[in-house]
Amino acid sequence: MSGAGPSLAVEGRRVFAGTGGRPFDAGLPAVAFLHGAGMDHSVWALQSRYLAHHGRAVLALDLPGHGRSEGPPLGSIEAIADWTTAVLAAAGVERAALVGHSMGAVAALACAARHPERVRALALLGCAAAMPVHPDLLAAAAANDHAAIDMVNAWGHGSSAHLGGHPLAGTWLTGHGNRLLERAGPGVLHADLAACDAWKGGQEAAAAASCPALLLVGTEDRMTPPKAGRALAALLPDCRVELLPGCGHMLMTERPEETLAALKGFL
């Protein structure tokens, strides 16, 4: 994604942030994007670019150990939440809207609960109060077995994605997902999945998150099913839910235009 962000570092390690093709301006309303397990900032290409060209200061972050950010992957959801506020501070941002997917969504939720003064709004994609990971997936990821990538892509996409499904002709959603996860270094996917599996603070974080929230739910999401999404929404003090029909867990790539429309309406 074009538009490298400002020169950022947290604890001496370089942080990469895409800015959607526009120079970063901390004086504009800020939106920070947090990706899911084993992924990077590129999953937000459409949404971050649109917002950057419509009056927002965008930081589409690579978490530590992912994409072009230095350092080992962080070991807990709480650590990702605290790191996010450190990045905002390094960028000169006092408050931001956080847009997160899956692991990034629970990290955004934890950030709003732990640092409410830094978060003005939450958009949560593919999120639930608990994020348990199947033992077979954890074991495969620990062994750096490609079966872990295969499982994430099989379970993480809706039915149309398994037939191609990309809005751009000739592009293959699950194949793209394979290439994306294959770029992650050894142990990165396992560290992320283990952090999700270990996170037990969802109900408390939801109750403590006082800012407005949007929850986007795919009707074919098998990782965070609609029932789990609605249960989380009921815990959030100020939350609205939008369903994306026929969509799996990878909302921002399976239904990029619909995801953008929901974010535009909320942010």
Provide mean pLDDT across the span 216-231.
96
Q: Does an H or E element contain 43, and which?
A: none
More confident call, 182 vs 1:
182
pLDDT at 194 over 60: yes
Q: How confident is the model at residue 172 (pLDDT cuts 50, 70, 90)?
A: confident
- Residue 7 confidence class, pLDDT cut points 50, 70, 90: confident
CA dihedral 213, 127, 142, 201 (to 10 degrees): 70
User: Using CA atoms, how far apart are residues 121 and 180, in angstroms rounded to an integer?
Assistant: 28
Contact 2, 46 (CB under 8 A): no
**What pLDDT, on the 0 to 100 scale, is given for residue 171?**
72
pTM: 0.95
* Domains located in the chain, CATH noted: 8-266 (3.40.50.1820)
Phi and psi at 19, nearest 5°, equal -120, 15
83 confidence band (pLDDT: 50, 70, 90): very high
Model confidence at 147: pLDDT above 60: yes
Indicate whether 167 pLDDT > 80. no
Residue 142 has pLDDT above 90, yes or no: yes
Is residue 192 pLDDT above 80, yes or no?
yes
Contact 37, 192 (CB under 8 A): yes
Q: What is the DSSP letter of 143?
A: T
Q: Let me know: does 195 contact 76? Beta carbons within 8 Å.
A: yes
* Beta strand spans in 57-192 (E): 57-61, 96-101, 119-125
* Interatomic CA distance for residues 148 and 192, integer angstroms: 12
Query: Cα(36)–Cα(38) distance, rounded to whole angstroms?
Result: 6
**pLDDT for the residue numbered 169:** 63
Kindly report the number of other CB atoms within 10 A of residue 117's CB atom. 8
